[in-house]
Amino acid sequence: MHHTHLSDAALALSRILTFHRIHHGFFGGFAILSTSPCPARETKDLDVLVSATKATIISLLSQRHGWLEIPQNREDYVAYFYRNPYATSSASSFDSSTTSTEEEEKPAPMVLVEMFVGHQASRFPVSKNCVLRGRHMGTSYIPILREEYLFRGKLNAAATRGKPGDVSDILYLIEQYGDTIRERLDGLDKTVVNEAVRRHPELRRPLRKVGIHAARAPVRWPVGKKSKDKTVFAVIPAKTWDVHRGLGWRD
């Protein structure tokens, strides 16, 4: 999905939350790609940490045009699809020279916005402002979690799934902000580190650059499996507050 469509959703949400003085910060792939002048990949959704209750977010968004709630049972998680209700090709603020006529004529896609909510504002991760340019929402700032929190979140994600994008994002953060991450990172869960490296062995050496050393676990190949075969790990679903803990927000 084109980054400007995601930027529209991020700008729309951030303006609502800022107006209501709700502390929030973007993280995950979108936030990391937004810090890069030349993103190496695309992403399909937004991840946002929000210091508000689930009920508060639902009351703010459910009656607004363009926001469609995706019912969830978890108390720490709210999900919506967002589509700019006023988007038309004639109203586009995006430079037409950078896209095809067919792209301009397509309706704005639905963007998945995942919010990880909580009622406590204490220990909320530090954020910094990042300038975004949307396709229809103009140009403005949004808060993005600081580099060490982006790194924590991605390492936590890499420990639970096998997405190549997680590895790419971790390598980018180490390359661009390695000294900062090394200086600010503390209290990292060794279990998370070891599991991330077990799933993604290519992370072992880069992590050493920021002072993170994973344990070397003995390799036991299943009966009938050759060492050259790639091991497929199961995805570990996030439990309540797992994402918050991965970012270092909750004990």
CB 84, CB 65: distance < 8 Å: no
**What confidence score (pLDDT) does residue 125 get?**
86
Q: Per the structure block, which two tokens stand in for 231?
A: 């091991």
Q: What is the identity of the amino acid at 62?
A: S
Query: Where are the domains positioned within the chain?
Result: 3-145, 148-221+242-246
**What confidence score (pLDDT) does residue 92 get?**
43
- Of 221, 10, 43, 35, nearest to 146 by C-alpha is 35
Q: Is 66 helix (H, G, I), strand (E, B) or coil?
A: coil
Q: How confident is the model at residue 123 (pLDDT cuts 50, 70, 90)?
A: confident
Q: How far apart are CA 112 and CA 161, in angstroms?
A: 19
Q: How far apart are CA 247 and CA 145, in angstroms?
A: 9
Q: What is the identity of the amino acid at 173?
A: L
**For residue range 95-117, what is the model confidence (pLDDT) as tens digits?**
444 454 455 556 778 999 999 99
> Is domain 3-145 classified as CATH 3.30.460.10?
yes
Segment 67-94 shows an average pLDDT of 80
**What confidence score (pLDDT) does residue 229 get?**
54
